[in-house]
């Protein structure tokens, strides 16, 4: 089987995640890549009755995508390179997100409004599964 040296615009991958509320404070959320890991990590604090499983579909980044993201995340002030890792992760999520199973549509505005706990899991998996 030949190596895939070019990224097709319809090449996608799925990131699964589970989320639940805290037993004592329903506004505190926990999230991880699976129900099992969520319970393993937060079992004592997690309200297992609130567990939801979701997924997000991302397209594979191309060289052009990564160049655009690097241009936005790195800057040169004349003496040193400055990086903004959170800007890179947010930009990558916005640029590559195709769909998700959350009730709100997968738009830039919704990504920006996403609970940070969920965004951290999605962003970490996105970084792990793509360059």
pLDDT for position 91: 95
The residue among 50, 58, 41 whose CA lies nearest residue 20 is 50
Tell me the two tokens of residue 42.
């937060």
Work out whether strand 52-59 and strand 12-21 pair parallel, antiparallel, or are unpaired: antiparallel
Of 15 and 43, the one with more pLDDT: 15
Average model confidence (pLDDT) for the chain?
94
Helix (H, G, I), strand (E, B) or coil at 77: coil
| pLDDT per residue as tens digits for the range 68-117 | 999 888 888 889 988 988 889 999 999 999 999 999 999 999 999 999 99
Distance CA 84, CA 118 (A): 20
Q: For 50-77, how does the pLDDT look when each residue is reduced to its tens digit (9 = 90+)?
A: 999 999 999 999 999 999 999 888 888 8
Contact 3, 14 (CB under 8 A): no
Between 18 and 9, where is the model more confident? Answer: 18
Distance CA 17, CA 128 (A): 14
The pLDDT value given to residue 106? 95
Give SS3 for 93: helix
Q: What is the pLDDT of residue 56?
A: 98
- Predicted confidence at residue 1, as pLDDT, reads 84
């Amino acid at each position: 089987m030949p190596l895939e040296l070019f990224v097709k615009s319809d090449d996608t991958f799925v990131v699964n995640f589970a989320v639940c509320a805290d037993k004592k404070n329903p506004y505190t959320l926990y999230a991880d890549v699976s129900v099992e890991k969520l319970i393993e990590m937060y079992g004592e604090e997690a309200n297992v009755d609130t567990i939801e499983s979701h997924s997000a579909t991302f397209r594979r980044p191309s060289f052009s995508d990564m160049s655009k993201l690097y241009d936005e995340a790195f800057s040169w002030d004349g003496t040193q390179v400055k990086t903004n890792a959170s800007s890179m992760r947010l930009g990558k999520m916005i640029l590559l997100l195709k769909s998700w199973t959350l009730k709100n549509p997968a738009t830039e505005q919704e990504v920006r409004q996403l609970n940070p706990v969920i965004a951290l899991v999605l962003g970490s998996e996105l970084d792990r599964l793509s360059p």
